[in-house]
């Protein structure tokens, strides 16, 4: 069996002490996650984070930093994900924009509200990324290198 990690991006968007979260369906259950998704062909990590955030929340964002790079193996299926988590600031909201089909809603939640419902976290990376962000674990976007043409 060949092992293939899946590359994903996630975005921490904070405004007035609240975090932009998505409510999505996973295995028939509603869970909370940062705007997140898979890297697509010919896309940079930054482009993927901006695209996923817009598609899942209707918010255009400006990336400001890398929060961290995480490895996570999902206990449900054994798939390993490499998550590059970004920090971003909200720029423009497009409330008329339809959200991705698996997204129920986008919510602004405080850390306390989110941490009060651990059974609803999509994975343990949800709180970990927020706590790393709040701890000031931020790295320059310059550490990322796009492929050369």
SS3 state at 1: coil
φ, ψ (nearest 5 deg) of residue 57? -130, -15
Q: What is the Cα Rg of the chain in Å?
A: 15
User: Helix, strand, or coil here: 120?
Assistant: helix
Asked if the model's pLDDT at residue 38 lies above 90, the reply is yes
β-pairing, 103-110 with 18-26?
Answer: antiparallel
Segment 99-117 mean pLDDT: 96
pTM score over 0.85: yes
pLDDT > 70? residue 35: yes
In this structure, whether the domain defined by 6-118+136-143 belongs to CATH 2.40.160.40 is answered with no
């Amino acid at each position: 069996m060949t092992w293939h990690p899946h590359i994903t991006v996630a975005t921490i968007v904070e405004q007035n002490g609240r975090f932009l979260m998505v409510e999505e369906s996973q295995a028939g259950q509603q869970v909370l996650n940062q705007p997140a998704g898979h890297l697509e062909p010919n896309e940079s990590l930054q482009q993927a984070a901006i695209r996923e955030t817009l598609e899942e929340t209707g918010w255009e964002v400006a990336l400001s930093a890398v929060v961290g790079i995480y490895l996570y193996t999902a206990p449900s299926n054994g798939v390993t994900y490499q998550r590059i988590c970004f920090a971003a600031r909200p720029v423009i909201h497009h409330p008329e924009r339809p959200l991705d089909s698996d997204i129920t809603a986008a919510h602004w939640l405080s850390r306390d509200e989110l941490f009060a419902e651990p059974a609803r976290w999509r994975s343990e990376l949800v709180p970990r990324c927020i706590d790393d962000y709040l701890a000031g674990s931020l790295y320059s976007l310059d550490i990322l290198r796009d492929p050369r043409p």
